[in-house]
A = this chain, B = another copy of it.
Amino acid sequence: MKITLHSPLDMHLHLRDKEMLKVVAPLSSKSFAGAIIMPNLVPPITTIEQVKNYREEIYASTKEDNFIPYMTLFFKDSYDYDFLKEVKGFITAIKLYPAGITTNSEGGVSGLDSKDLAMTLEAMSELGIPLLVHGESNGFVMDREREFVTVYERLATDFPKLKIVMEHITTKDSAELLDRYPNLYATITLHHLLITLDDVVGGLLKPHLFCKPIAKRYEDREALLELALNAHPKVMFGSDSAPHPRSKKESCGCAAGVFTAPIALPALAELFDKYSKLDNLQPFVSDNAQSIYGITPPKKEVVLAKESFKVPSSYGEVVPMFAGEELSWKIEEVR
């Protein structure tokens, strides 16, 4: 059995920079036609110059592939209309992080009062720049996303023309917002379709499955599966693939992030096949994103075959999800 995906897109990707970028960027550009590139470097991407330089760095490591890095800025409430108008040609979206909530988010937004954000968000609405949000409060780890629901509701209501993407949603509550607010969209990761907190801490502790937002309950995973497997038109695949060297994962203070970029498409094919929903994989991994963002990625055909694929134990120093395990689908050809 085979399927061909047309121009798959990863709508939430961490490529890091320098040596790590050289290892991981080609693993995405090989099988994806494009990806939304997260801006949480150290320091974060906040200027046109940084966007250009980062884009060049990505191009340099992906030049053999037909791949568009859709660049983003790290949200600041000081961005004004003139700046945003100028930067618009270089970016696809702006990513908002509550301060300190995940890797390299120390410079994020502390209060999330609509009034404080109004100047920037109104300019973004007018210019048609989507706002991507890491939607977690600073509360108890299992409640952070649920507590953020009211922030999403306020943002969606106060800025009705702003396209707001709830990134890497992990809860039933977030899923339910999609049909209530026309301007709310969502990305869903591979790992949140597959695991719950039980997989992280229920047996042995699994640092390579430790991520932010943390995996939640079974009913939450069910809600995400329902959206993804049916290719809900407001939902896009975003891997949130987040590489860390093994030394930062298997240590006394392990960094958050699951590395899925190189195995995402085979693993998604296996999942959609399991539920007899392979027909919905194309909209989930590309068509929905094209409609929502209004982008036209380069043509790329990825042929997946239902054949055993042994996932490498690592890519450089980075351990992927399913390291050393067998998947039942593999990438047969990219053309």
A contact set with B: CB distance below 8 Å:
140-142, 196-198, 200-202, 204-208, 210, 214, 217-218, 249-256, 319, 323
Which of A217, A250, A255 has its CB near the most chain B CB atoms (within 10 A)? A250
Residues of chain B within 8 A (CB-CB) of A249 are 252
Which of A141, A206, A323 has its CB near the most chain B CB atoms (within 10 A)? A141
Partner of A200, one of B196, B201, B208: B201
Q: Is there an interface contact between B250 and A205, defined as CB atoms closer than 8 Å?
A: no
Q: Is there an interface contact between A204 and B256, defined as CB atoms closer than 8 Å?
A: yes
Q: Is there an interface contact between B207 and A205, defined as CB atoms closer than 8 Å?
A: yes
Partner of A141, one of B202, B206, B207, B254: B202
Q: Is there an interface contact between A201 and B210, defined as CB atoms closer than 8 Å?
A: yes
Given A140-B197, A142-B142, A197-B141, answer yes or no on A251-B250 (Cβ-Cβ < 8 Å): yes
CB distance from A272 to the nearest CB of B (A): 25
Q: Is there an interface contact between A253 and B204, defined as CB atoms closer than 8 Å?
A: yes
Partner of A254, one of B140, B207, B319: B207
A198's closest neighbor in chain B, by CB?
Answer: B141
Partner of A206, one of B140, B198, B202, B253: B253
Partner of A218, one of B140, B250, B252: B140
Besides A204-B255, A252-B323, 15 other A-B contacts (C-beta < 8 A): A140-B198, A140-B202, A140-B218, A141-B197, A141-B202, A142-B142, A142-B197, A142-B217, A201-B210, A201-B214, A204-B254, A207-B207, A207-B252, A207-B254, A250-B250
Residues of chain B within 8 A (CB-CB) of A202 are 140-141
Residues of chain B within 8 A (CB-CB) of A142 are 142, 197, 217
